[in-house]
Structure formats: C-alpha cells, structure tokens
Amino acid sequence: MNLPTNERLLSCRDLRVFVDDKEIVKGVDLEIRTGEKHALMGPNGSGKSTLAAALMGHPAYRVEGEILLRGEPIAGLSPDERARRGLFLGFQYPVAVPGVTVASFLRAALAARLGREVPVREFRQKMQAAFDVLEVPKNFTGRYLNDGFSGGEKKRLEVMQMLLLEPAVALLDETDSGLDIDALKIVSAGVNLAARAEMGLLLVTHYQRILDYVQPDIVHVFMGGRIVRTAGPELARELETRGYDWLADPAPTATARG
C-alpha cells in the first residue's frame, strides 16, 4: 500500500469505552501516523485490551468520542467494515477452527480485505514476504487453524495475517501471560517489517521485554483507563526499572487553605 508519508492513520479524541454502564477507558487521545510504532504499556486490568477491542468495534463495548481511520469516522462501523478499511487486530486468544486450513483462512481474509476473490498465484506471491521473514515451515499452511498450535505458531499465523492484509494500522495485543522467546522473535520480525511498510502500529503490552526486539517510536503509559504519560523509547526502559506506580495519579490532596 502506498501511504502518503506522515498521514494521520488512526486518531481518537476523548475516547471512552463502557461495559454495561461501567466506564473502562476514560477519555483517550491518540494519533498514529504512517510508519510509527506506538507501545501502549500499563498494569493488568488498566483497560488496554478493552481499548484495542473497542477500536476494532467489538460489540461488547459501547464507545463515546471519536475514532478516525485515515480521516474518516469509523466508530459506527462493524469490525468487518473496519478491517476492509485497513484496521487490523491481532487476537489474544485465537480459536481453533477444525477443517479450515491456514492457507484457506488467510486467502479468505485477504479476499474480505480486498473485496474480491484472490487467485492462488497472487495469494502465493503475497505470502512470500511473510514466509521469508517468519521462516514458515513447509507444512504450516496446510494445517488446521490453531489446532494444537504452539504459542509461537499462533503468533506466526497472526503476523502472517497482518503482513498479508497490509492494514493501514495494526493493533497487536500481547498476552500478559508472556510469550516464549520464539513467539517474541516472530512478532518482533513481523512488526519491524510492517513498520518498514509504513503501517502504523499500536503494540499493547504489559512487559517491557518485547521492546528489546522492537524499538517503539512513542511509548504511552496507560493506567486506570487513561494515558498518563507519553514519551520516547527511553520511557519503556524507565518503566522496566521503576515499574508503574510512580506514574499513578497522586491521591487527591486537601486544598491548601489560608
């Protein structure tokens, strides 16, 4: 995809996300431009996955505020329509689908993204770059979707999907349970390749570890449903040594009187 450089790919303004009547994301402003890698880091339960799922249009969440994808409002659109317009969410817990091979799943996903059938030859060509980078074993695409996949294989599928679909913006939500080293390297290689292709990336992560392999341009700290700090990659290193607590909102103090 040819994206004008420095285009605003994904922006949200005062984004609030509710489950039932509980506000989980409490007013987020975010702007991701072409080729930018953003890391969204924060403690468990702060609402990171909720934010990512709501951006993708997960029906469990009610959203207030604005979400723009390449300048167009998308908050009212279905997840499928958002995907067609170039938003991608890597799933935390992909499901097993017996009887559907990796290849047929990926080809169907590409057809949905492009809005047309994809001939096998074109599909193979598009897959080649992903195959090269991810060192996909020969038999991988013939296997059934997520059926007995290791953590590394699930990640490989997710990253293959991302590279194939060439989204404008990829939201990658890493499990807080942690990836093994194989999975980490796969994700990192994919993320770095995607960023070179000018995709915008939002890498959601609890741990600093993946940032040893992926250098983010911008790091956001997310706590209690809000972005409490935004800085460069040095912030991730600081979080590793200091944890998150020092960034928590100070307890409301009694106003000084007299």
- Judged by beta carbon, residue 49 or residue 141, the one nearer Mg ion is 49
- Judged by beta carbon, residue 47 or residue 190, the one nearer ligand ADP is 47
Binding mask 65-94 for ligand ADP (x = CB under 6 A): ------------------------------
Taking the CA of residue 129 as centre, how many other CA atoms within 13 Å lie in the half-sphere pointing to its CB?
Answer: 16
How many residues lie near ligand ADP (CB under 6 A)? 11
Q: Are strands 200-205 and 218-223 parallel, antiparallel or unpaired?
A: unpaired
Q: Taking CB within 5 to 8 Å according to partner kind, which of Mg ion, ligand ADP, none is near residue 42?
A: ligand ADP
Between CA 39 and CA 97 the distance in angstroms is 30
Answer yes or no: are the C-beta atoms of 94 and 158 closer than 8 Å: yes
- Judged by beta carbon, residue 54 or residue 163, the one nearer ligand ADP is 54
User: In the range 217-256, which residues lie near ligand ADP by CB under 6 A?
Assistant: none
Q: Which of 47, 57, 152, 190 binds ligand ADP (CB under 6 A)?
A: 47
Does position 205 interact with ligand ADP (CB under 6 A)? The reply is no
- Judged by beta carbon, residue 49 or residue 161, the one nearer Mg ion is 49
Of 47-55, 71-79, 159-167, 213-221: span binding ligand ADP (CB under 6 A)? 47-55
Q: Which of 1, 14, 60, 114 binds ligand ADP (CB under 6 A)?
A: 60
- Judged by beta carbon, residue 38 or residue 48, the one nearer Mg ion is 48
Answer yes or no: are the C-beta atoms of 55 and 32 closer than 8 Å: no
Does position 49 interact with Mg ion (CB under 5 A)? The reply is yes
Which residue shows structure tokens 């790091």? 219
C-alpha to C-alpha distances, 166 to 37, 62, 222, nearest whole angstrom: 15, 28, 27
User: In the range 27-46, which residues lie near ligand ADP by CB under 6 A?
Assistant: 42, 44-46
User: In the range 9-28, which residues lie near ligand ADP by CB under 6 A?
Assistant: 19, 24
Least distance CB 48 / Mg ion (angstroms): 5
Residue type, 18: F
Least distance CB 155 / Mg ion (angstroms): 16
| Residues at the interface with ligand ADP (CB under 6 A) | 19, 24, 42, 44-50, 60
Residues engaged in binding Mg ion (CB under 5 A): 48-49
